[in-house]
Amino acid sequence: MEAKKIFITGATGNIGKSLIKYLLEQEGTDQIIAGVRNVERARGQFPTHERLTFRAFDFEDQTTFNALKEVDRVFLLRPPHLADVDRYFKPLIDAFQQNQINQVAFLSVQGVEKSKVIPHHKIEKLIVESGLEYIFVRPSYFMQNLTTTLYEELKTHGTITLPAGNAVFNWVDIENIGEASAILLSNFEQYKNRPFEITGGENLSFSEVVSMINQEIDTQLKYRSVNPFKFFLLKKQQGTAVPFIMVMIMLHFLPRFQSAPKCSDAYTLLSKKLPTTIREFAKREQQLLRP
Ligand SMILES: NC(=O)c1ccc[n+]([C@@H]2O[C@H](COP(=O)([O-])OP(=O)(O)OC[C@H]3O[C@@H](n4cnc5c(N)ncnc54)[C@H](OP(=O)(O)O)[C@@H]3O)[C@@H](O)[C@H]2O)c1
């Protein structure tokens, strides 16, 4: 198979780091190009590898789109703060075409087809309408939200406060998403023009997750559900930006009125492994999860 140049956006983030690790672990000759805002800082975050190079790339600065020169395939991730699809993603997809890039794998989200308002929906539509060959990676709720977005309160107070009630979420390990994405990117021809829901095997509420973690690593974490108004005020007092609070409410309150997410077997079919369970995640990340 001919070696490809694969350009990775969001390379220094949760998914990007895991994806690059799995791409480099695979035997093969594909060149991995990490498109990053700060090349020097990014270099320090990865082991040196002959197949990994770095180029300056900023979604918010079109002069950096020359980083796409001589690229064959792109892994596209939407950084969480970029919601204006016409402003940031339309010109980028035009730049793919100007650079004869015809293949894009996009990190989307499970359920995207049902929610016309989220940016991922618009980005998927843009990709399809532009005639690019695509793979849509649609993951469920990241287990690592516990050790990133929700981490400060968990670490400091041993609590998680959300407007999620008893809503169930499908919990997926970022490692499983990185691994599945690496397989999909390296075998693009085989999997192209299809969506892949990458999920874990468990639909669980926050109270169930917290009690499993407590049993597994002997902690006393607590989950407190509050109504969305109280959540808004609490977060506002803590200085959280309003758009971010609104996203948190949308992500955690709306599932109370939706049917339980689907468990997909795509990860297992691709990797021939079972997805990580919450108990395995708790054990692996116990250093972080102990307040
Ligand atoms: N959390 C969930 O449960 C969940 C579930 C499904 C889907 N998702 C989706 O997953 C995506 C987030 O993935 P993630 O957690 O891996 O992201 P992340 O950890 O927040 O990382 C964001 C990445 O984007 C880069 N970035 C930010 N602004 C940039 C810019 N202007 N130009 C170039 N690069 C920029 C960051 O680089 P720097 O190092 O320069 O900051 C970083 O590498 C979102 O689209 C989200 O909707 C999340």
Looking at the predicted structure, is the pLDDT value of residue 117 above 90?
A: no
Tell me what pLDDT residue 12 has. 98
CATH number at residue 149: 3.90.25.10
Tell me what pLDDT residue 28 has. 87
Which of 123, 139, 155 marks a domain boundary? Answer: 139
Same domain, 228 and 132: no
pLDDT one-digit tens code per residue, 160-180: 999 999 999 999 999 999 999
196 CA to centre of ligand 1 in angstroms: 19
- Strand ranges (DSSP E) for the chain? 5-8, 31-36, 52-56, 73-77, 103-107, 133-139, 141-142, 159-162, 168-172, 194-198, 203-205, 222-225
Question: Which residues form the domain of 85?
Answer: 5-139
* Residue-averaged pLDDT of the chain: 97
Same domain, 30 and 128: yes
Same domain, 114 and 160: no
pLDDT over 70 percentage in the chain: 100
Residues in the ligand 1 pocket, defined by CB under 6 Å: 10-16, 36-38, 57-60, 77-80, 107, 109, 139, 141-142, 145
**Rounded average pLDDT over 181-191:** 97
Same domain, 235 and 119: no
Tell me what pLDDT residue 27 has. 85
Same domain, 110 and 230: no
pLDDT one-digit tens code per residue, 233-288: 999 999 999 999 999 999 999 999 999 999 999 999 999 999 999 999 999 999 99
User: How many other CB atoms are found less than 10 A from the CB of residue 148?
Assistant: 13
Same domain, 69 and 149: no
Q: How many domains does the chain have?
A: 2
Same domain, 153 and 61: no
CA dist 202 and 282 (Å) reads 14
Same domain, 159 and 279: yes
Looking at the predicted structure, is the pLDDT value of residue 125 above 90?
A: yes
Looking at the predicted structure, is the pLDDT value of residue 104 above 90?
A: yes
The contacts found for 243-249 with CB under 8 angstroms, 24 or more apart, are: 243/83, 247/80, 248/149, 248/162, 249/163
Asked if the structure places residue 50 within a domain, the reply is yes
Same domain, 134 and 156: no
User: How many other CB atoms are found less than 10 A from the CB of residue 97?
Assistant: 12
CATH number at residue 90: 3.40.50.720
CA dist 237 and 255 (Å) reads 25
Pair of tokens at residue 157: 């107070």
Same domain, 109 and 152: no
Tell me what pLDDT residue 2 has. 81
pLDDT confidence bin for 109, thresholds 50/70/90? very high
Asked if the structure places residue 51 within a domain, the reply is yes
Asked if the structure places residue 267 within a domain, the reply is no
Pair of tokens at residue 215: 């049993």
Pair of tokens at residue 160: 């998680």
Same domain, 78 and 51: yes
CA dist 45 and 11 (Å) reads 10
The protein residue whose alpha carbon is closest to atom 19 in ligand 1 is: 13
Nearest-atom index, ligand 1, CA of 57: 33
**Rounded average pLDDT over 24-34:** 94
Asked if the structure places residue 181 within a domain, the reply is no
Asked if the structure places residue 125 within a domain, the reply is yes
